[in-house]
């Protein structure tokens, strides 16, 4: 049976629709200055959509408060048949109270296999990210997950809590996680890495931990955690604008070298105080990735001269297994 997708750009049109008939639903209300009253109405209507399987909610750029998010979450908690769920709440001044509230209702969506949550540019700290991520462990069928928390205030403990909760998602195969500019530091990335290392079924990982005050200890420890991610075949890692140095990039390379199934790698380590020696150590480690076919590496704004970059290209191409190579 073909599932008919319904799209709405006005909340009134959705409220007046045949709610129980929806199975695939997209609601676009970005930059609409919608009130809490409207969001409460949206949540109340979603509560009646008991046959929903796929739901996408675009609510970025509004000013949704605790009351509105509570009503929305209450409605979502009744959609127990949801398999695929995407919600964009970027730029909404959402804080910990709202995030915790949302996590409480997410616990009821136990049938989810694919989940996208975007909370970019809000005011979420440790308590908020812990409240949301703690719900994930109850969603046992979750295999595809995207979490967007860039430009918040998660901090060291928040990143560690997130890693702890992600470790419970044992069926995850695809993970996209953006924690750019969240002050997580070395301890935070160590906790995060520890959790990711327990996601043994991960095959595709996109991770952005750039601009997070990460040093050599954090990068080396994260590399050690990657040793356990032996099933990853595709990885995108943004760790630019930190201070991992030669020791950190060598430790990171050690972990990547143990990812023997790695086929495609994009690695941005620009602006990290790395010298030619650290870059050479990385190339030696990546040479151990015998299945690596596509490599893109960004080393801009480090302590590497133009001539040294030329020599590095030769070293990275030495294994002669790469089908595509891009060195920035």
Q: What is the CA radius of gyration of the chain?
A: 21
Q: Tokens 């997950």, residue?
A: 145
Statement to judge: residues 102 and 242 lie in one domain: no
pLDDT tier for residue 328 given thresholds of 50, 70 and 90: low
Average pLDDT over residues 39-68: 93
Sheet bearing 264-268, strands edge to edge: 5-8, 24-28, 54-58, 84-88, 114-118, 144-148, 174-178, 204-208, 234-238, 264-268, 294-298, 324-327
Statement to judge: residues 92 and 194 lie in one domain: no
Residue 112 sits in a domain whose CATH number is 3.80.10.10
pLDDT tier for residue 321 given thresholds of 50, 70 and 90: confident
* pLDDT per residue as tens digits for the range 232-269: 999 999 999 999 999 999 999 999 999 999 999 999 99
Q: Tokens 């040294």, residue?
A: 308
**313/7: higher pLDDT:** 7
Q: Is the pLDDT of residue 88 over 90?
A: yes
- Structure confidence at residue 90 (pLDDT): 96
Statement to judge: residues 258 and 221 lie in one domain: yes
Structural domains of the chain, count = 2
* pLDDT per residue as tens digits for the range 174-183: 999 999 999 9
pLDDT tier for residue 65 given thresholds of 50, 70 and 90: confident
Q: Tokens 């490599």, residue?
A: 295
Statement to judge: residues 241 and 305 lie in one domain: yes
- Structure confidence at residue 250 (pLDDT): 98
**189/110: higher pLDDT:** 189
Is residue 227 in some structural domain?
yes
- Structure confidence at residue 1 (pLDDT): 44
- Residues 6 or more apart whose Cβ sits within 8 Å of residue 117: 87, 89, 132, 146, 147, 148
- 80-101 exposure pattern, b = at least 16 Cβ within 10 A, e = fewer: eebebbbbbbbbbebbbebbbb
Statement to judge: residues 90 and 208 lie in one domain: no
Statement to judge: residues 164 and 289 lie in one domain: yes
CB neighbour class for 198 (10 Å; exposed up to 12, middle 13-18, buried from 19): middle
- Structure confidence at residue 317 (pLDDT): 83
Statement to judge: residues 161 and 121 lie in one domain: no
pLDDT tier for residue 313 given thresholds of 50, 70 and 90: confident
pLDDT tier for residue 323 given thresholds of 50, 70 and 90: confident
Statement to judge: residues 164 and 117 lie in one domain: no
Q: Which of 227, 214, 144 is nearest to 179 (CA)?
A: 214
Average pLDDT over residues 135-147: 94
Lowest mean pLDDT, pick from 59-68, 185-194, 276-285:
59-68
Statement to judge: residues 107 and 171 lie in one domain: no
pLDDT tier for residue 318 given thresholds of 50, 70 and 90: confident
Averaged pLDDT of the chain: 93
Statement to judge: residues 107 and 181 lie in one domain: no
Q: Which domain holds residue 206?
A: 154-328
Q: Tokens 């109850």, residue?
A: 138
């Amino acid at each position: 049976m073909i599932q008919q997708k319904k799209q709405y750009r006005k909340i009134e049109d959705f409220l007046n629709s045949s709610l129980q008939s929806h199975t695939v639903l997209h609601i676009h209300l970005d930059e609409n200055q919608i009130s809490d009253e409207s969001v409460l109405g949206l949540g109340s209507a979603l509560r009646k959509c008991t046959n929903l399987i796929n739901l996408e909610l675009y609510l970025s750029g509004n000013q949704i408060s605790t009351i509105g998010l509570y009503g929305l979450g209450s409605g979502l908690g009744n959609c127990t048949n949801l398999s695929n769920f995407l919600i964009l709440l970027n730029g909404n001044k959402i804080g910990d109270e709202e995030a915790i509230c949302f996590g409480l209702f997410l616990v009821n969506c136990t049938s989810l296999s694919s989940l996208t949550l975007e909370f970019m540019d809000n005011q979420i700290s440790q308590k908020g990210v812990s409240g949301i991520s703690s719900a994930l462990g109850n969603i046992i069928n979750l295999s595809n997950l995207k979490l967007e928390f860039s430009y918040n205030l998660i901090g060291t403990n928040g990143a560690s809590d997130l890693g702890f909760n992600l470790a419970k998602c044992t069926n995850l195969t695809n993970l996209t996680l953006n924690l750019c500019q969240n002050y997580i530091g070395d301890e935070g990335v160590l906790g995060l890495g520890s959790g990711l290392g327990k996601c043994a079924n991960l095959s595709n990982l996109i991770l952005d931990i750039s601009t997070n005050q990460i040093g050599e200890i954090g990068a080396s420890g994260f590399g050690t955690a990657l040793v356990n991610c032996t099933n990853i075949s595709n990885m995108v890692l943004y760790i630019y604008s930190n201070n991992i140095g030669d020791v950190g990039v060598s430790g990171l390379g050690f972990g990547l070298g143990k990812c023997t199934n790695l086929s495609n790698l994009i690695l941005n380590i620009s602006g990290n105080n790395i010298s030619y020696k650290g870059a050479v150590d990385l190339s030696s480690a990546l040479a151990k990735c015998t299945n690596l076919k596509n490599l893109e590496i960004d080393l801009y704004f480090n302590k590497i001269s133009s001539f040294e970059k030329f020599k590095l290209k030769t070293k990275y191409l030495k294994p002669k297994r790469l089908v595509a190579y891009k060195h920035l």
